[in-house]
C-alpha cells in the first residue's frame, strides 16, 4: 500500500493503471474510519482492480462554528485498517494543494435544488463544499467507480445528480448504512458523544423505524408522524433538527401515493448533530 499526498505522483500512477487496463475503485473519506467506511472499501475491493481511498478533512463543507478544528484526525489507525483490507493507495492531499487560491477564490460546483433542502437548509453551503471537493478528487483519481455510504443519503443524491448533470464518466455506488447492535448508525461523530448521550442516541433510529413501520401499516398521516417523532426525540433529550418523509430520488416531500420513500432525521445531542435515514419501498 502506498500513501501519496502529491497530486502529480497520483496522476503518474493513474496513467500506469490506465495503460494496463485496470478498473479503479475510489472511496473518498475524511478519515477516522469505522466499519461503515470499511464496508465501502470492501465493496470496492470486490468490484475494482485498484482501490484508492482519499483522506481529506474538507474545510469547504464545514460551516462557521461547526467541528472542522475538532474533527478527529487518526491517520495512523486509518492506514493500518486500510492496509489490512488490501487497499492500493491512500491519497492524503493537503488543503493548500486542494485549494491553492484559498476557499474564497475557489471555483465551486453547486447542484441546485437538492442541495438547498433538508440538511442543506440547516447547513448552508455544505453540499457546495461536498460537490466541489468530490469533483476535484474525481479529477485527480479519475476512478471508474466511486463508493458512498447511504447514511449520508442526501449527499449520495447530490453526487448522483452532479455526475449526471456534468456528464462525468464514472459509476456511483451507494452502500447500505452499518449500524451498532442498538441500531445507531455508525458515524465518526458518534465519537463526540459522552456515555449518557450515547445511551440516548439510538432513539433517532427507533423513531425513524417506527415511522417506517407506520407507513408500511398504511398510515398516510405524514405530518402527524413527523410531529410525534420530533416530540419523542425532544423527550429523549435531543434537540430535533428535522424529520422528513421524502421521495427517495428527488427528496421532494412525498405525496401519499408515492411508493419509493426515504425517512430522514437529524437531531442534536449537545453540540453533536446526528443524522440517519431509512429508505422504504412500499408495495
Binding site for ligand PAF (CB under 6 A): 28-30, 58, 61, 130, 133-134, 152, 155
Nearest CB to ligand PAF, comparing residues 82 and 130: 130
Total residue count of the chain as it appears in this document: 283
Report the distance separating Cα 209 and Cα 202, nearest Å. Answer: 11
Q: Which three cell numbers stand for residue 181?
A: 447492535
In sequence order, which ranges of the chain are alpha helices (DSSP H)? 7-19, 35-47, 75-84, 95-98, 102-105, 119-122, 126-141, 153-165, 195-200, 203-216, 222-236
**Which residue(s) pair with 275 in the sheet?**
266
Report the distance separating Cα 78 and Cα 207, nearest Å. Answer: 32
Q: Is 37 a catalytic residue?
A: yes
Report the distance separating Cα 226 and Cα 235, nearest Å. Answer: 14
Nearest CB to ligand PAF, comparing residues 134 and 264: 134
Give 166's DSSP letter.
T
**Smallest gap, in angstroms, from Cβ of residue 28 to ligand PAF?**
4
Q: Which three cell numbers stand for residue 12?
A: 503518474
Asked if 43 and 85 touch (Cβ cutoff 8 Å), the reply is: no
Catalytic-role residue among 34, 37, 126, 180 = 37
Nearest CB to ligand PAF, comparing residues 78 and 245: 78
Nearest CB to ligand PAF, comparing residues 30 and 226: 30
**Smallest gap, in angstroms, from Cβ of residue 222 to ligand PAF?**
28
**Smallest gap, in angstroms, from Cβ of residue 232 to ligand PAF?**
27
**Smallest gap, in angstroms, from Cβ of residue 152 to ligand PAF?**
5
Q: Cell 416530540 belongs to which residue? A: 231
User: Is the C-alpha dihedral spanning 183, 189, 191, 196 positive or negative?
Assistant: negative
**Smallest gap, in angstroms, from Cβ of residue 16 to ligand PAF?**
25
**Smallest gap, in angstroms, from Cβ of residue 40 to ligand PAF?**
10
Nearest CB to ligand PAF, comparing residues 118 and 130: 130
Q: Cell 423513531 belongs to which residue? A: 207
Element (H, E) at 23: none
Nearest CB to ligand PAF, comparing residues 61 and 203: 61
Report the distance separating Cα 237 and Cα 101, nearest Å. Answer: 43
Which are the catalytic amino acids? 37
Amino acid at each position: 500500500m502506498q500513501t501519496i499526498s502529491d497530486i502529480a505522483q497520483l496522476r503518474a500512477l493513474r496513467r500506469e493503471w490506465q495503460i494496463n487496463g485496470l478498473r479503479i475503485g475510489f472511496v473518498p473519506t475524511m478519515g477516522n474510519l469505522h466499519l461503515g467506511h470499511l464496508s465501502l472499501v470492501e465493496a470496492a475491493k470486490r468490484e475494482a482492480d485498484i482501490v484508492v481511498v482519499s483522506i481529506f478533512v474538507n474545510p469547504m463543507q464545514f460551516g462557521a462554528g461547526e467541528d472542522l478544528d475538532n474533527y478527529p484526525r487518526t491517520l495512523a489507525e486509518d492506514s493500518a485498517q486500510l492496509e489490512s483490507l488490501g487497499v492500493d493507495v491512500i491519497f492524503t492531499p493537503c488543503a493548500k494543494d486542494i485549494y491553492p487560491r484559498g476557499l474564497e477564490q475557489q471555483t465551486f460546483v453547486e447542484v441546485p435544488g437538492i442541495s438547498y433542502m433538508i440538511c442543506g437548509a440547516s447547513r448552508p453551503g455544505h453540499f457546495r463544499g461536498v460537490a466541489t471537493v468530490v469533483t476535484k478528487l474525481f479529477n485527480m483519481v479519475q476512478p471508474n467507480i466511486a463508493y458512498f455510504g447511504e447514511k449520508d443519503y442526501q449527499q449520495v443524491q447530490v453526487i448522483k445528480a452532479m455526475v449526471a448533470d456534468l456528464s462525468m464518466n464514472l459509476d456511483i455506488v451507494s452502500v447500505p448504512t452499518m449500524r451498532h447492535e442498538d441500531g445507531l448508525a455508525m458515524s465518526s461523530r458518534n465519537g463526540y458523544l459522552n456515555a449518557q448521550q450515547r445511551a440516548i442516541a439510538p432513539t433517532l433510529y427507533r423513531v425513524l423505524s417506527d415511522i417506517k413501520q407506520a407507513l408500511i401499516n398504511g398510515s398516510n398521516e405524514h405530518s402527524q408522524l413527523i410531529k410525534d417523532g420530533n416530540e419523542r426525540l425532544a423527550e429523549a433529550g435531543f434537540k430535533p433538527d428535522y424529520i422528513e418523509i421524502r421521495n427517495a430520488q428527488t427528496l421532494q416531500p412525498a405525496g401519499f401515493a408515492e411508493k419509493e420513500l426515504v425517512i430522514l432525521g437529524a437531531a442534536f445531542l449537545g453540540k453533536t448533530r446526528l443524522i440517519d435515514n431509512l429508505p422504504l419501498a412500499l408495495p
